[in-house]
């Protein structure tokens, strides 16, 4: 067990005496603060922060991180405040300790929501100081090492969270050693029986493999010696969780995975890496398409290495990784290597710069997310370990998650590029925005001013940045559209009182806001637009001097004159009923649907027959003379069966400048069929022209518009 003296001895190998004393002081402060507290194992609580500091000392972390590790549970579990820590140890340490501390003063509806809020808080602290995540990873690692004392249910929950969040974060920061330990401990806690069986299978196969491993290693060592290139060669053991994941995801048997022999060659410099690659390719034939150069193009977490697969003796596949000593250290310690192998000029390492970029990306996602659950969902997407590498037209390399599309690429370039993206060229050919990209392709984004993200993009984007930005834009757009519609509905009712919103004194508006418990007028207007608040109720609060009876008679008399004009471009808070498919030229009525805004029906629609005269649920509306856009309509065509009749029907409709959305055929008997069509037309005149053209087709006996279909549920508020 680590003691403060043994820790101080280790620290003195790379820290100055004064810095070691600061860590000692933090230990005694924590010991006093946690006095009388014990862990589930029965040990004094201070053994936990001491062990966390010990893990960080192995990474040669700086004294501030070690002090924060000693104090990381002080704010959360004792009566000591952040201000007290700040006065004793300074701002930076107090902020780090607070960043690692959980939110324990707030009650949450579920454990998942609490975890999401805690992670969101930690992400904000990471943006200020990246060392927060290193303290948190060390804290989690010690908790995973001492998981046995917890109940089976809690053990599984902690293990699942570690595998879902903390292992991918360690991977994202290039900290391979910690990631592997997280995965091994998590796998053992979550699936103990599977872990035992795979472990037993690995042990039994190890003896049979020993001879082949030795032969391959001897051949590789002789090859390097012959070429005069010094290097360390050692066999790589596959760890249990990676074997399990490959068996599960790639649907391979245990023997298929263990059939591959893996070796790592560590050399002195980059130039030697490529020379060794040539030598091993001479020794054994390489497998085509299996060579990856992560030295020229490092992974997103800063990992660098040459990967190749060879056909060894007797056709045995051999996986080889070739890297320098520095790359080996970076692969195991990642961002922590920034402190462990700090250069004298104090310039941040490659991994540190990439980690900082990732944290800044997290911050942007956090600002765009609606809540902590949405944020953590986006983060999980962003923690995918597999990347693809594509190029901009100018040759800049962009790293994206595997399966990314041109929309993900556009948002990776810049949020504004993503928002105004309309088309793309992949390796100089026009391609759909939803086409998955592959490594090595050149992607060019075509933008247009005034365009906006399409909600359909959410079904194929894979990066957290793209998803959070699209959602954020659509949320803001819905808000502004709801406010605009709410303003129009309120002004329509206020018109019957002989006034307008702009003419009402601010004092009266303020009084109305107080009565509705709203902070801003926009909130009330948004509620009206979404159908969550009645416009005439708000209008009465704003003009309280009017007599109710006078207002009611005025409303009845003037509502026809002040009917709302529908332009067709209102956006997401105005929709057209799918039961009656109103189009410009039809007499229409607006139904205020709670949470959805306004739904436009035809006046004769059966689904609103019961509520048509209720002024709280229905609003008088009319088509604007300059209405624009295309509107869905359904028609029914009865015709004689004839070869090629559907093609003739489609040609006639497109010739009349209408689009076919959907087509279905019902055979009435062997001779006659009914064709149901869903079309997009501009107005009633356009529809009449389309129907006239269809009637001219010889086999057609009848064409009619489907006026109103009974929906499963009546359209009530």
Burial of 5: CB neighbours in 10 Å, binned 0-12, 13-18, 19+: exposed
Average pLDDT, the chain: 83
Confidence label for 172 from pLDDT (cuts 50, 70 and 90) = confident
Same domain, 241 and 318: yes
Confidence label for 717 from pLDDT (cuts 50, 70 and 90) = very low
Which of 14-23, 275-284, 484-493 comes out lowest in average pLDDT?
484-493
Which of 51-60, 178-187, 207-216, 401-410 comes out lowest in average pLDDT?
207-216
Whether 426 maps to a domain, the answer reads: no
Alpha carbon distance 134, 65 (integer Å): 8
Assess whether pLDDT exceeds 60 at residue 105: no
Whether 253 maps to a domain, the answer reads: yes
Instruction: Find out whether 445 and 419 touch, Cβ atoms under 8 Å.
Output: no
pLDDT of 638: 92
pLDDT of 716: 43
Which two tokens mark 650?
Answer: 């489609």
pLDDT of 384: 54
Assess whether pLDDT exceeds 50 at residue 557: no
Same domain, 181 and 223: no
Task: Say what the pTM is.
Answer: 0.64
Q: What is the 3-state secondary structure (H, E, C) of 642-688?
A: CCCHHHHHHHHHHHCCCEEEEEEEEECCCCEEEEEEEEEECCHHHHH
Same domain, 687 and 547: no
pLDDT of 418: 93
pLDDT of 161: 87
Instruction: Find out whether 661 and 632 touch, Cβ atoms under 8 Å.
Output: yes
Pairing of strands 306-311, 397-401: unpaired
Mutual orientation of helices 521-529 and 535-542 as an angle, nearest 10°? 150
What is the tens place of the pLDDT at every residue in 111-134?
Answer: 777 777 777 777 777 767 788 888
CATH code: domain of residue 140:
1.10.3210.10
Higher pLDDT among residues 518 and 207, named by residue: 518
Which residues touch 716 (CB under 8 Å, ≥6 apart)? 610, 611, 617
DSSP 180: H
Which residues touch 651 (CB under 8 Å, ≥6 apart)? none
CATH code: domain of residue 211:
3.30.460.10
pLDDT of 404: 92
Whether 242 maps to a domain, the answer reads: yes
Average pLDDT over residues 77-100: 86
The alpha carbon of 78 is separated from its chain's Cα centroid by a whole number of angstroms, namely 36
Alpha carbon distance 24, 421 (integer Å): 56
pLDDT of 399: 81
Same domain, 514 and 597: yes
Confidence label for 385 from pLDDT (cuts 50, 70 and 90) = low
Assess whether pLDDT exceeds 60 at residue 71: yes
Q: How many domains does the chain have?
A: 4
Which two tokens mark 187?
Answer: 């796998």
pLDDT of 180: 92
Average pLDDT over residues 227-232: 89
CA distances from 627 to 565, 576, 631 (A): 9, 14, 11
pLDDT of 66: 92
Q: For a pLDDT cut of 90, what percent of the chain falls above it?
A: 27
76 included as an active-site residue: yes
Whether 525 maps to a domain, the answer reads: yes
pLDDT of 170: 86
CA distances from 101 to 122, 130, 368, 598 (A): 8, 15, 24, 46
pLDDT of 705: 93
Q: For a pLDDT cut of 70, what percent of the chain falls above it?
A: 87
Instruction: Find out whether 492 and 535 touch, Cβ atoms under 8 Å.
Output: yes
pLDDT of 107: 53
Burial of 30: CB neighbours in 10 Å, binned 0-12, 13-18, 19+: buried
Same domain, 183 and 208: no
Same domain, 644 and 591: no
Pairing of strands 306-311, 292-293: antiparallel
Higher pLDDT among residues 487 and 103, named by residue: 487
Pairing of strands 421-426, 574-576: unpaired
**Which residue range forms the structural domain that includes residue 485?**
472-618
- Neighbouring-strand partners of residue 266: 232, 323
Assess whether pLDDT exceeds 50 at residue 554: no
Same domain, 186 and 249: no
Alpha carbon distance 145, 122 (integer Å): 22
Burial of 512: CB neighbours in 10 Å, binned 0-12, 13-18, 19+: buried
Assess whether pLDDT exceeds 90 at residue 619: no
Alpha carbon distance 387, 402 (integer Å): 5
Same domain, 64 and 113: yes
Whether 48 maps to a domain, the answer reads: yes
pLDDT of 352: 67
Same domain, 599 and 698: no
Among 589, 618, 647, give the residue marking a domain's end: 618
Rounded to the nearest 5°, which phi and psi values hold at 677?
-125, 140
Confidence label for 661 from pLDDT (cuts 50, 70 and 90) = confident
pLDDT of 652: 93
Q: What is the DSSP string of 252-314?
A: --HHHHHT-EEEEEEESSHHHHHHHHHHHHHHSEEPTT--EETTTS--TT----EEEEEE-GG
pLDDT of 128: 76
77 included as an active-site residue: yes
For the chain, the 3-state helix, strand and coil shares in percent, each to the nearest 5, are: 50, 15, 30
Count how many Cα atoms sit within 13 Å of the Cα of residue 586 in the half-sphere of its side chain: 28
Which two tokens mark 8?
Answer: 């101080």
pLDDT of 238: 80
What is the tens place of the pLDDT at every residue in 329-339?
Answer: 887 777 766 56
Assess whether pLDDT exceeds 90 at residue 520: no
Same domain, 67 and 124: yes
Which two tokens mark 465?
Answer: 């940045």
Is 524 strand, coil or helix?
A: helix
pLDDT of 380: 63
State the catalytic residue, choosing from 31, 43, 62, 76. 76
Whether 716 maps to a domain, the answer reads: no
Whether 395 maps to a domain, the answer reads: no
What is the tens place of the pLDDT at every residue in 442-479?
Answer: 999 999 888 889 888 988 998 888 988 888 888 888 88
Which residues touch 360 (CB under 8 Å, ≥6 apart)? 127
pLDDT of 75: 84
Instruction: Find out whether 93 and 64 touch, Cβ atoms under 8 Å.
Output: yes
Instruction: Find out whether 566 and 574 touch, Cβ atoms under 8 Å.
Output: yes
Among 560, 583, 618, give the residue marking a domain's end: 618
State the catalytic residue, choosing from 77, 326, 444, 603. 77
Which of 27-31, 297-301, 457-461, 673-677 comes out lowest in average pLDDT?
297-301
Same domain, 75 and 96: yes
Assess whether pLDDT exceeds 80 at residue 616: no
Which range scores top for mean pLDDT: 74-88, 264-278, 447-461, 569-583?
A: 264-278
197-203 contact pairs (CB < 8 A, 24+): 198/240, 198/243, 198/244, 198/254, 199/240, 201/254, 201/258, 202/238, 202/240, 202/243, 202/258
Among 571, 597, 618, give the residue marking a domain's end: 618
Residue 323's CB: how many other CB atoms inside 10 A? 25
Alpha carbon distance 452, 448 (integer Å): 9
606-610 contact pairs (CB < 8 A, 24+): 606/579, 606/708, 606/710, 607/577, 607/579, 607/580, 607/708, 607/710, 607/711, 607/714, 607/715, 608/714, 608/715, 610/714, 610/716
Whether 282 maps to a domain, the answer reads: yes
Assess whether pLDDT exceeds 70 at residue 550: no
Same domain, 166 and 205: no
């Amino acid at each position: 067990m680590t003691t403060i003296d043994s820790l101080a001895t280790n620290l003195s190998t790379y820290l100055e005496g004064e810095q070691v004393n600061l860590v000692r002081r933090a230990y005694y402060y924590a010991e006093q603060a946690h006095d009388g507290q014990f862990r589930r194992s029965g040990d004094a609580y201070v053994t936990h922060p001491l062990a966390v500091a010990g893990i960080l000392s192995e990474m040669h972390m700086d004294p501030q991180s070690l002090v924060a590790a000693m104090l990381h549970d002080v704010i959360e579990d004792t009566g000591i405040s952040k201000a007290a820590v700040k006065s004793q140890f300074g701002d930076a340490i107090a902020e780090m300790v607070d960043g690692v501390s959980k939110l324990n003063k707030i009650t949450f509806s579920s454990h998942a929501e609490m975890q999401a809020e805690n992670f969101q808080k930690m992400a904000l602290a990471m943006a200020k100081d990246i060392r927060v995540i290193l303290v948190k990873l060390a804290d989690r690692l010690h908790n995973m090492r001492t998981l046995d004392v917890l109940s089976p249910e809690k053990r599984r929950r902690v293990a699942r969270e570690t595998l879902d969040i903390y292992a991918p974060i360690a991977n994202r920061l290039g900290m391979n050693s910690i990631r592997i330990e997280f995965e091994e401990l998590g796998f053992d806690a979550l699936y103990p029986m599977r872990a035992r069986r795979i472990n037993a299978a690995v042990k039994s196969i190890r003896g049979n493999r020993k001879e082949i491993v030795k032969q391959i290693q001897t051949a590789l060592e002789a090859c390097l010696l012959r070429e005069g290139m010094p290097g360390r060669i050692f066999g790589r053991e596959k760890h249990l969780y990676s074997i399990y994941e490959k068996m599960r995801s790639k649907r391979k048997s245990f023997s298929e995975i263990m059939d591959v022999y893996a070796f790592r060659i560590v050399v002195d410099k980059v130039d030697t890496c490529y020379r060794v690659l040539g030598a091993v390719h001479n020794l054994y034939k390489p497998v085509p398409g299996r060579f990856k150069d992560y030295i020229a193009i490092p992974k997103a977490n800063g990992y660098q290495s040459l990967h190749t697969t060879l056909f060894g003796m007797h056709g045995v596949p051999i996986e080889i990784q070739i890297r320098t000593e520095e790359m080996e250290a970076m692969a195991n310690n990642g961002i922590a290597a920034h402190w462990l192998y700090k250069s004298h000029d104090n310039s941040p390492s490659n991994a540190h710069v990439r980690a900082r970029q990732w944290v800044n990306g997290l911050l942007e996602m956090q600002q765009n997310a609606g809540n902590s659950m949405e944020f953590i969902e986006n983060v999980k997407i962003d923690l995918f370990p597999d990347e693809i590498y594509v190029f901009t037209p100018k040759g800049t390399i962009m790293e994206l998650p595997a399966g990314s599309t041109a929309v993900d690429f556009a948002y990776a370039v810049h949020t504004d590029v993503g928002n105004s993206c309309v088309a793309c060229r992949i390796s100089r050919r026009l391609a759909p925005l939803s086409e998955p990209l592959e490594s090595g392709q050149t992607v060019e984004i075509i933008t247009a001013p005034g365009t906006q993200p399409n909600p359909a993009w959410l079904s194929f984007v894979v990066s957290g940045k793209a998803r959070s930005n699209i959602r954020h834009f659509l949320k803001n757009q819905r808000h502004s559209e709801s406010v605009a519609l709410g303003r129009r509905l309120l002004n329509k009712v206020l018109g019957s009182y002989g006034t307008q919103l702009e003419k009402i004194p601010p004092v009266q508006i303020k009084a109305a806001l107080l009565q509705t418990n709203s902070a801003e007028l926009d909130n009330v207007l948004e509620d009206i637009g979404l159908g969550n608040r009645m416009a005439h109720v708000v209008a009465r609060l704003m003009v309280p001097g009017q007599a109710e009876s006078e207002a009611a008679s005025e409303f009845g008399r003037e509502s026809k004159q002040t009917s709302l004009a529908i332009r067709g471009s209102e956006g997401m808070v105005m929709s057209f009923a799918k039961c009656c498919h109103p189009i410009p030229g039809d007499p229409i009525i607006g139904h205020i649907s709670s949470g959805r805004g306004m739904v436009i029906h035809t006046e004769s629609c059966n689904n609103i027959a019961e509520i048509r005269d209720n002024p709280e649920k229905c609003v008088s509306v009319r088509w604007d003379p300059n209405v624009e856009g295309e509107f869905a309509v359904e028609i029914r065509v009865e015709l004689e069966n004839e070869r090629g009749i559907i093609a003739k029907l489609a040609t006639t409709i497109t010739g009349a400048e209408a689009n076919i959305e959907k087509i279905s055929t019902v055979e009435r008997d062997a001779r006659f069929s009914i064709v149901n069509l869903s079309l997009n037309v501009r107005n009633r005149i356009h529809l009449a022209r389309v129907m006239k053209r269809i009637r001219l087709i010889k086999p057609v006996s009848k064409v009619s518009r489907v006026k109103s279909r009974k929906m499963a549920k009546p359209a009530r508020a």
